[in-house]
Copies of this chain bind each other. A is one copy, B any other.
Amino acid sequence: MKCCIIAIGAEVVSGDILNTNGVTIANYLKPYGIKTVMQLTVDDCKKDIVKAIKRGLKKADLVITTGGLGPTYDDITKKAVAKALDRELIRDEYSVEMLNLYFRRAQKPMPQSNLSQCYFPKGSQIVQNPNGTAPACITGTKEGTVMMLPGPPIEVEALLRTEEITSYFDSLKQGEIVETTLKFFGIGESHLEEVLSDYMKKEKNLILAPYAKTGEVQLKITAKGDTREEAITRTNTLKEKLYELVGEYIYTEGDRKLEEVLLDSLKQNGQTLATAESCTGGMIGQMITAIPGSSDSYFGGAITYSNELKQKICNVSSETLSEYGAVSKGTACEMAEGIRLFTGADIGVSVTGIAGPGGGTEEKPVGLVYVGISTCDKTDAFRFHFVGNRDKIRQLSAKNALHLALCASKSLGEIKK
């Protein structure tokens, strides 16, 4: 099955914003065996949108549009689709109700213009938007199907996870496809590829796609089979081999993020965690607390951006700060131990480093980062020298801190047994 993705909006055509939806959607479709064969980006111009829809339906079985579902005058996707498909626009009363509810909850008056968001091509399946006021819709025709999604990525992602949309795609599946993701930490993408080179040769029913992501590598395995069992067997045989070759680097199977795996391990072992962050400035806490239920195992911690706070909360000694500096193994150890004792958590994690662009010296260059880990068993700190800009250095620091906390959680769990 083929798909054409159309991004609609002056801001995308003109280059004001980067169209990430195309990548999100194309990757989302892959496990369903749907191949994206064309991507178009068109202005908020009805004539152009109509043309693009028609072109898309000629080339593909499914056309997905993003953008142009907002309440303002330049949001004309639905009008254009209705014209391209020669359908009437019909007001959906349930959507009107939901919209009223939305504004009542937000305690704001509803502008009349928002009502335009409640009109859909006749015969559409309407999907309410968990993160915004514009519902999505799926309109089937003889020529193919048109799915209209809003523009903001946060809304697109939430909609793709809805029951309605996942079950729509489930209904399109041909043959069986099983997708498995293995996540690696501590091994580079090219090293992994070298190790796997024999298995990387493109086989029709088994595709290995490694993909590097700040500090970690994901390996996506797509197995096809006439039956689900066949695809699963294919996957398992490969997986066994992978655990044999590079098992030590695999930290999880599936879609879970590093922070989720960490929280699971903490929970499983009945442990609690606290953080003391300097150069990451709250990024680790933010990543952990992005996971619902994190409060069960995460106490919180300190953003000790200033030296005063490092001393006041984490009890870092003036001697360590003056002798070795804020970015040192000693400070990282004292921060980790300090936050553990201050909060009473089982594991204390700390980060101190030079994220740049300024602040580097020959001895302590930009990218030098220490991650400290403290448990009742021992306190230690690890030295890293990351390459990249401020954002990349901070992200690598946070990821490595999470990974070291995961290792600490596991080994502390072992000791307790």
Contact = CB atoms under 8 A, between A and B. Distances in A.
B15 A35 contact: no
A161 to B, nearest CB: 9
Contacts of A415: none
B38 A15 contact: no
Interface in A295-335: 295, 298-306, 308-309, 312-313
B300 A306 contact: yes
A107 B36 contact: no
A237 interface: no
Contacts of A282: 275, 277, 281-286, 289, 303
Interface string A115-157: 0000000000000001110000000000000000000101000
Contact of A387 (B27, B102, B113, B295): B102
A226 interface: no
Interface in A96-124: 102, 105-108, 111, 113-114
A400 interface: no
Interface stretch (A65-73, A77-85, A228-236, A238-246): A65-73
Interface stretch (A16-24, A167-175, A403-411): A16-24
A190 B391 contact: no
A90 interface: no
Given A38-B42, A305-B289, A388-B131, A25 B18 contact: no
A189 B111 CA distance: 10
A43 to B, nearest CB: 6
Contacts of A220: 16
A390 B302 contact: no
A390 B290 contact: yes
B15 A18 contact: no
Interface in A6-45: 7, 10-20, 22-27, 30, 35-43
Interface stretch (A209-217, A263-271, A373-381): A209-217
Contact of A70 (B40, B212, B356): B212
Contacts of A131: 388-389, 392
A388 B303 contact: no
Given A11-B209, A15-B26, A22-B41, A111 B191 contact: yes
Nearest to A275: B303
A369 interface: no
A292 B356 contact: yes
A288 B278 CA distance: 12
A340 interface: no
A413 interface: no
A394 B285 CA distance: 13
A102 B211 CA distance: 20
A186 to B, nearest CB: 11
Contacts of A298: 281, 305
A180 interface: no
A105 B367 contact: yes
Contacts of A12: 39
A188 interface: yes
Contact of A306 (B191, B299, B394): B299
24 contacts: A10-B209, A14-B36, A15-B24, A16-B27, A16-B209, A16-B220, A17-B23, A38-B40, A38-B42, A39-B41, A40-B41, A130-B389, A132-B388, A152-B212, A154-B392, A275-B303, A281-B285, A281-B298, A293-B358, A294-B305, A300-B305, A308-B344, A312-B342, A312-B343
